[in-house]
Amino acid sequence: MEKNIDRVVEILDRSHNTVVVTGAGISTEAGIPDFRGPEGIYRKLGENRVMKIINIDFFRNNPLEFYKFYRQYFIFPPVEPGKAHQVLAEMEKAGIIKAIVTQNIDNLHQKAGSQKVIPIHGNGARFLCQERNCRSVHDSNYVNTYPEVIPRCSQCGGILKPDVVLFGEHIKNYPDAMDRILGARVLVVIGSSLTVYPLAGFVKEFSTFTQYLIIINKGPTPLDHAAVVKLQEGNTGELLEEIFEKIKKRRKQ
């Protein structure tokens, strides 16, 4: 594995446009279970049930039932960024990476200090009033104040919706995410199974015209064959820390 780490160090050190794509796996080390992992809700409840409820049509037609489910499984207790989030923020400050495109709604990249974050599935800490003339923003503490009712706007009484992409909705920041990924010199995928589209499609397209795809993920992905390096052993935060330290050492020489 050390040889593969050194190869990653060499590639990142030479690149002037590295973009990182992150999925749920990067946040499991911070204490947030992923959907498909052993403790994930897909395993516990079944993927079809989750997709039926976390759906824009279900939200519109059954907001109370939606929020009973959403409060239980999608509003997380306060969590601090893990080492992986912190190292990526430091790598951005050092000019090693240019942007992070994330599938996660936990806001941990931003909390760690990363500046250029493109959250394509939204921000789970925000809830938006659905009244067109209002659109005020509330946080999860407000939504949990009265856990048995549909959360309503404190300004106008309109229903609040999580500022996340539900099934049946288009992803946020689509053009920006696509441009960042397809315009990268090096793409590093961390903690994603690369099975959720359209993001997986962007990565697949990137892999067709460059050899500089790096995957750091404990499980297999459909694009493992296209990666110049695949790292799947060890703690992600510690791996990134080792890579970062070796890059800094190279640059001092």
DSSP 8-state secondary structure symbol assigned to residue 37: S
Closest CA to 54 of 28, 78, 27, 75: 75
Q: Which residues contact 171 (CB under 8 A, 6 or more apart)?
A: 120, 121, 165, 177, 198, 199
Q: How far apart are CA 133 and CA 66, in angstroms?
A: 24
Q: How far apart are CA 113 and CA 108, in angstroms?
A: 9
Q: How far apart are CA 226 and CA 211, in angstroms?
A: 7
Q: How far apart are CA 240 and CA 12, in angstroms?
A: 12
| Residue 170 bears catalytic tag | no
**Strand partners for 129:** 160
C-alpha atoms less than 13 angstroms from C-alpha of 106 in its C-beta half-sphere:
26
Q: How far apart are CA 142 and CA 124, in angstroms?
A: 13
Catalytic residue among 121, 138, 170, 225: 121
Closest CA to 37 of 25, 19, 49, 50: 25
DSSP 8-state secondary structure symbol assigned to residue 95: T
The residue type found at 237 is G
Binding residues for Zn(2+): 129, 134, 153, 156
Token pair for residue 145?
């104040």
Binding residues: 129, 134, 153, 156
Active site residues: 121
